[in-house]
Amino acid sequence: MINPVMWFFPLLSEEMLPQAVLFRLTRQKIPPGKRRMPNIAIVWDFDGTLTPDDSTTKTVEVLQGSGKGGEFWSMIKALRGDQELPQWEHILAMDAPIWMYSLSRLAATKKVPLNAEFFKEFVLPQIALYPKVLDFLIDIKNLEQTEKFRRLNLEIHHFVVSAGLKELIEQVFPAGLVTWTFGCRYTVVVDENHSDEPESVPVFCMDETVKTRSLFEISKGAFNNQSVKVNTRVPAVELWSPFENIIYIGDGDTDVPALSLTRSKGGLGIAVFNPEKSAIDTRQKFKNMRLDKRTDLITPADFSIGGELHSYIYNRCVQIRQRYEASEVLQ
């Protein structure tokens, strides 16, 4: 059997991590009077990472009919110029405005608003997470309630950063489990003279570049605080979540910049794949990612408690906690 882990830097368990290592992990002393415990941020892609489905395709098929998703994406490729000569180089960042506009036109022909109510009633029932995802997320989140984490006031937060639809993805999870969701958004406009013809206007497009911006928003705490601007320089001791406290998990090309950024700044990058897909396809998909060392771990999207993905993230959270414990000793 082929080992699914193609690139792996082992994490030490709590018992295996000596004080000498903890000392080396402690890079910065916090001046007296400025100590505020940062947060651990676990950042998830959605489509292909937490679910084997493509949530946007599910939305298309609700509007257009089962099995019509392929036709929709073929149209997007045509609008993108893939058939033009000389061959046009595909830029992933160009996809979002094209499909968001096309989806809005499709919804308009059906006189359907692309809003939270529509997603909840018609699309949400079509979305299936990988088995045990919710139990996994809850178990990791509950670490913050254990004695050693509570003593430090060290909190663990889940985020979703997706090129899918924000108002749909937000409804997948129980309230309070995911701190913030980044994704594509529409605003629905209704003309008072044509109230039965809602117009869904794209107002925010997410792509692989904007995903990296989202990481800075998380790190600085700008995601829910208008007084903090993402381009404002924030002193290291005031970061909501330093990058070394960030864990990013994704599954494909749109996650490569976010994985690279996270790892370059001391965080952890993990790539997951659908365990039901062939090993040959998986190796090919992640070949360059592995060779370029864009990720610390490539593993199946298996959300079993105690499984490889769970153990890796769990141990990283413990490792971060131990770093702050060592820092306290040095104060």
pLDDT digits (tens, 9 = 90+) for 200-216: 999 999 988 899 999 99
Report in angstroms the alpha-carbon separations of 71 from 56, 91, 105: 13, 20, 15
- Residue 128 tokens read as 């299936």
Ordered by start, the domain boundaries in the chain are 14-53+128-188+203-330
Arithmetic mean of pLDDT over the chain: 85
pLDDT digits (tens, 9 = 90+) for 241-255: 999 999 999 997 789
- Average the pLDDT over 315-329 and give the result: 92
By CB atoms closer than 10 A (0-12, 13-18, 19+), residue 311 is middle
Choosing among 1.10.1240.10, 3.40.50.1000, 3.40.50.300, 3.20.20.70, the CATH entry for 14-53+128-188+203-330 is 3.40.50.1000
In this structure, the number of other CB atoms found within 10 A of the CB of residue 164 comes to 23
Confidence grade of residue 10 (pLDDT, cut at 50, 70, 90):
very low
Closest by Cα among 211, 194, 186, 196 to 102: 186
Confidence grade of residue 193 (pLDDT, cut at 50, 70, 90):
confident
pLDDT at residue 231, rounded to an integer = 83
How many whole angstroms separate alpha carbon 123 and alpha carbon 112? 12
Whether 188 has a pLDDT exceeding 60, the answer reads yes
- Average the pLDDT over 270-284 and give the result: 81
pLDDT at residue 41, rounded to an integer = 98
Residue pointed to by tokens 């003279």 = 193
Name the pTM for this structure: 0.85
pLDDT digits (tens, 9 = 90+) for 61-118: 999 998 889 999 999 988 887 666 555 566 665 788 999 999 999 999 999 999 999 9
For residues 132 and 303, the answer to whether their CB atoms sit within 8 Å is yes
By CB atoms closer than 10 A (0-12, 13-18, 19+), residue 134 is middle
pLDDT at residue 52, rounded to an integer = 96
Confidence grade of residue 232 (pLDDT, cut at 50, 70, 90):
confident
How many whole angstroms separate alpha carbon 45 and alpha carbon 178? 12
- Residue 284 tokens read as 């090919």
Whether 125 has a pLDDT exceeding 70, the answer reads yes
